[in-house]
């Protein structure tokens, strides 16, 4: 449709508007020339047009990518809040299906799984870097039930929170290295 071109030739790309339009003028001339040389020239020019248009994302694609990036950023910031997926989508002012699609296309996992991954990463960091009780870490990562948090943490990391803390304690490692010197 002319009102919604696949690629906008506005000269904003590396190849200017005049050069873009020049390809079409040269293509028309090659087609009018005909014969083997005209066919060869037209073929080469078609390839150049395809390459040029393929390197220019459509304005709609740029807007969608920017929106998806903003959604993912906001989701990462809100991941530790104890919200349901529908509450999270509402706080981000998008419908749940749009949130699902944006997260799935950007990360390869659904929003619930991404939230769990983000929460587990934060929990691991808190366990390794602080002496906070597991109950407090559960709360800080969006879980009201510490027992559920512990079961989920164990399932995802294959070690309990206390075992993970013992094995990954960053402060102890730093102290051990100073004694080794």
- Write the pLDDT tens digit of every residue in 123-134: 999 999 999 999
How far apart CA 19 and CA 47 sit, in angstroms, is 15
Instruction: Please calculate the CA angle 17-21-25 and round it to the nearest 5 degrees.
Output: 160
User: In the predicted model, is pLDDT for residue 141 greater than 90?
Assistant: yes
CB environment 17-41: b (16+ within 10 A), e (fewer): eeebeebeebbeebeeeeeeeeeeb
Is the per-residue pLDDT at 143 higher than 90? yes
What are the tens digits of pLDDT across the range 51-93?
666 555 544 544 667 877 888 888 888 888 888 889 988 888 8
Nearest Cα to Cα of residue 102 among 89, 91, 121, 90: 89
First to last CA, the chain: 72
């Amino acid at each position: 449709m002319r009102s919604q071109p696949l690629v906008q030739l506005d000269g904003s790309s590396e190849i200017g508007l005049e050069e873009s339009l020049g390809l079409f003028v040269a293509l028309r001339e090659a087609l009018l020339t005909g014969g083997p040389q005209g066919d060869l020239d037209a073929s080469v020019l078609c390839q150049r047009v395809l390459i040029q248009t393929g390197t220019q994302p459509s304005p709609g694609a740029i807007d969608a990518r920017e929106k998806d990036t903003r959604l993912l950023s906001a989701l990462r910031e809100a991941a530790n809040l104890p919200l349901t997926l529908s509450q999270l989508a509402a706080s981000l002012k998008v419908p749940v299906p749009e949130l699902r699609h944006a997260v799935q296309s950007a990360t390869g996992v659904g929003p619930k799984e991404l939230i769990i991954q983000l929460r587990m990463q934060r929990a691991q960091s808190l366990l390794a870097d602080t002496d906070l009780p597991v109950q407090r870490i559960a709360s800080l990562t969006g879980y009201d039930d510490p027992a559920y948090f512990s079961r989920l943490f164990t399932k995802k990391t294959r070690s309990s929170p206390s075992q993970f803390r013992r094995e990954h304690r960053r402060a102890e490692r730093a102290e051990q290295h100073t004694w080794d010197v």
